[in-house]
Amino acid sequence: MKTNRKEFIKTSLLAGTAIGFNACKFDSKTRPTSIVTNKPIVISTWRFGLQANAAAWEILKNGGKAIDAVEAGVKVPEADANERSVGLGGRPDRDGIVSLDACIMDELGNIGSVVCLENIKHAISVARAIMEKTPHVMLAGQGAYQFALSQGFQKENLLLPESEKEWKEWLVHNQYKPIANIENHDTIGMLALDESGNLSGACTTSGMAFKMRGRVGDSPIIGAGLYVDNEIGAATATGHGEEVIRIAGSSLVVELMRQGLKPEEACKEAVMRVVKLMERRNKNLKDIQVGFIALNKLGEHGAYCVQSGFNFAIQSKEQKELIDAPFYLKV
Ligand code: SD4
């Protein structure tokens, strides 16, 4: 994989830690005997993915299910008040209200999604409850909140003093111009392949900081912010949701893998679609960031993004690492 590695944590020095993976096992006569899958494995977006992966790994290493692993994993930043873009402590919209978006998808094609959820920090678990306990796939706003309360979720004020202070400072200039900055753009998207060879994914965010009230990005939209096809692979996105939705990003990455592309190649091709549509609309690419991560059925992974700054975390038996994603815009 062609990646810059400015920072990394290694748990072991097994040969070939780059991916720690061979597609084929060879016998003494060097005839391929079987496909070796790199499993279990979990990957997720951004630096906080390291901690989130660790929680997911506790489930995966004991033979647990990918769907349980991704939910448990992304709940870590959701509950962390210091993470300012997910769950508790997330930055508010421009009216000062924290609203969360999330979705989850399992190996069977079960999906659950919640948008504009207020006062409940574990949006991912609400999405899962929608998946498992309703005949629907998506609930929004007040209805989603009522449903969550009915399921025993606790009401909680998600706007913490630091976020409120930042919002008040933002109000002084009140420029409605989303900026490509990892400081106010962070979504956790997580993909896991479990010991049984099943894939699942989860994605959760407070969305773009100081967004318009009611604005929904890609993160809770199956096909845009997340997609899983248990025959092929899974993908998730981060960055400017509008641009990800425009190309049906995560679904596209999975379809590209179906056509034979490796995860990094598929992510790169999806980013190139973003680039093309930005150019066609005469928009400045420097103003946006979009990043994809992908995991295929063999446990191979990859990522690609528009501009530098995006990284993703991997955990498997052989790897525990944060990797800088390769990027398009070289300036
Ligand atoms: C959104 N994609 O709401 C999310 C934000 C994000 O890194 O990913 N930021 O558009």
CA nearest to 217, candidates 10, 275, 42, 209: 209
Looking at the predicted structure, is the pLDDT value of residue 71 above 70? yes
Overall fold of domain 32-329: Glutamine Phosphoribosylpyrophosphate, subunit 1, domain 1 (3.60.20)
Say how many Å lie between the CA of residue 27 and the centre of ligand 1.
Answer: 46
Q: For the whole model, what pTM was predicted?
A: 0.89
| Per-residue tokens: 85 | 């873009």
Say how many Å lie between the CA of residue 62 and the centre of ligand 1.
Answer: 32
Average pLDDT, the chain: 88
pLDDT band at 35 (very low <50, low <70, confident <90, very high): low
Among 94, 99, 188, 219, the mutation site with the greatest number of ligand 1 atoms within 8 A of its Cβ is: 219
Q: How far apart are CA 215 and CA 9, in angstroms?
A: 37
237 three-class SS: strand
| Candidates 3, 187, 236, 238; catalytic one | 187
Say how many Å lie between the CA of residue 34 and the centre of ligand 1.
Answer: 40
Pairing of strands 188-193, 138-140: unpaired
Per-domain residue ranges of the chain: 32-329
236 three-class SS: strand
Q: How far apart are CA 104 and CA 139, in angstroms?
A: 13
Highest mean pLDDT among 29-38, 116-125, 177-186: 116-125
Q: How far apart are CA 265 and CA 243, in angstroms?
A: 19
Q: From its phi and psi, is residue 115 left (phi > 0), alpha (psi between -120 and 50) or beta? A: beta
Q: For 151-183, what is each residue's pLDDT tens digit?
A: 999 999 999 999 899 898 888 877 666 555 445
CA nearest to 223, candidates 231, 214, 235, 238: 235
Which residues approach ligand 1 with their CB closer than 6 A?
185-187, 205, 207-208, 217-219, 238-241
- Per-residue confidence (pLDDT) for residue 172, from 0 to 100: 85
Residue nearest to ligand 1 atom 6, measured at CA: 239
- Residue 187 a catalytic site member: yes
Among 47, 114, 203, 238, the mutation site with the greatest number of ligand 1 atoms within 8 A of its Cβ is: 238
